Amino acid sequence: MPDQLPEIELEDRGSKGRYVLRGPGGAEAEMTFTKIGEHQIIIDHTEVPDAFRGQGAGLRLVTRGVEDARAAGKKIIPLCPFAAAQFRRHPEWADVLKQ
């Protein structure tokens, strides 16, 4: 994944949150999520503006969510079509996928 992308920031607002990549000119790539109890999260939406296209930003956001869920012992329900597609492409994430 490209090294020129900025650090992913986590904004946790209680039952909801998002992972954000902030770029030049105020562009933001984001993946939003909703917490379901203590052990599950839903990935609601992933949005990557043109400023980030082709740089792997969306995959980086989903990967960070997977890493954080794994570390916290949580399961993910990927309702977002992009996130669901990434889970299909990454069978190594099966341990955090809510079946």
Q: Which domains does the chain have, with CATH numbers?
A: 9-92 (3.40.630.30)
6 DSSP 8-state letter: P
Strand order in the sheet with 28-36: 9-13, 16-22, 28-36, 40-47, 75-78
Instruction: Provide the CB-side half-sphere exposure for 73 (13 A, CA).
Output: 3
Q: What is the CA radius of gyration of the chain?
A: 13
pLDDT at 32: 98
Query: What is the reported pLDDT for 1?
Result: 43
Helices (H), 26-90: 57-72, 81-89
Q: Please, what are the averages of pLDDT over each run of 10 residues along the chain (99 residues)?
A: 74 96 91 96 96 93 98 97 98 96
pLDDT score recorded for residue 58: 96
